[in-house]
Amino acid sequence: MRFDDAFRAEFDTLLRWRRDVRHFSTEPLPPPLVEDLLDAACLAPSVGNAQPWRFVSVESPDRRATIGANFEAANQVALSGYSGEKAQIYATLKLAGLREAPQQFAVFCDETTAQGAGLGRATMPETLRYSAVLAVHTLWLAARARGVGVGWVSILDPVAAAASLEVPPSWRLVAYLCLGYPLAESETPELERLGWQSRTSACRAVLHR
């Protein structure tokens, strides 16, 4: 199937406006919308068609509080790794929407899944986790197309997070996602707007051999 110029232009716009959101409205997301997003995520490619992603909807106030405490501890450790101006900027950054986001998913990779019969991952077993990341990205684009913001909380102790959510031991945390309607929207990444890091040309680095 071929897509026309109008669709491609809209898709390019979607990619530019896909931002990491940290400022959420507390308005709940309609359950059918959440189901649509999960269905979209499952359209992601995966090595050997293994589909190793596992979504945990974190709804319990106690479990959310535990994840929040995990983030605060990890964030303090991260802050201690900076000094000078970087430390000052870091201390002002809002790096998670854990208190406001109405929907939260912990996304895991099941590294012992039998699905796919090991196809394509014998030499690169990490492709299972890459597949789970692709599911995250697919969900992210689908959410943005529906006016929903997504924030990836990576400042966490993954082992402690998995333990607090009581998942099978073969599952490895890939992402902790906050979802909700954004309070504000911008085409420019927040970290760029706040002076942490501007976009560079590094993404276009190509070696020709």
User: Which pLDDT belongs to residue 63?
Assistant: 98
User: Which pLDDT belongs to residue 207?
Assistant: 85
Radius of gyration of the chain (CA): 18
Residue with tokens 């059918």: 32
Of the candidates 35, 44, 49, the residue with the CA atom closest to the CA atom of residue 174: 44
Calpha distance 136→130 (Å, rounded): 10
What's the whole-number mean pLDDT along residues 141-167? 97
Q: Minimum mean pLDDT among 110-124, 172-186, 190-204: which range?
A: 190-204
CB atoms within 10 A of CB 81: 9
Q: The dihedral of CA 60, 61, 62, 64: what is its sign?
A: positive
Total residues belonging to the chain? 209
Residue 148 has pLDDT above 90, yes or no: yes
H-helix segments, 45-126: 61-80, 84-92
User: Which pLDDT belongs to residue 203?
Assistant: 75
Chain segment 19-56, per-residue pLDDT in tens: 999 999 999 999 999 999 999 999 999 999 999 999 99
Calpha distance 145→134 (Å, rounded): 17
Contacts of 188 (CB under 8 A, 6+ apart): none
Residue 200 has pLDDT above 90, yes or no: no
What's the whole-number mean pLDDT along residues 115-127? 95
Calpha distance 188→16 (Å, rounded): 8
- High-pLDDT (> 70) share of the chain, %: 100
Q: Look up residue 48 and give its two tokens.
A: 């050997």
Calpha distance 90→31 (Å, rounded): 35
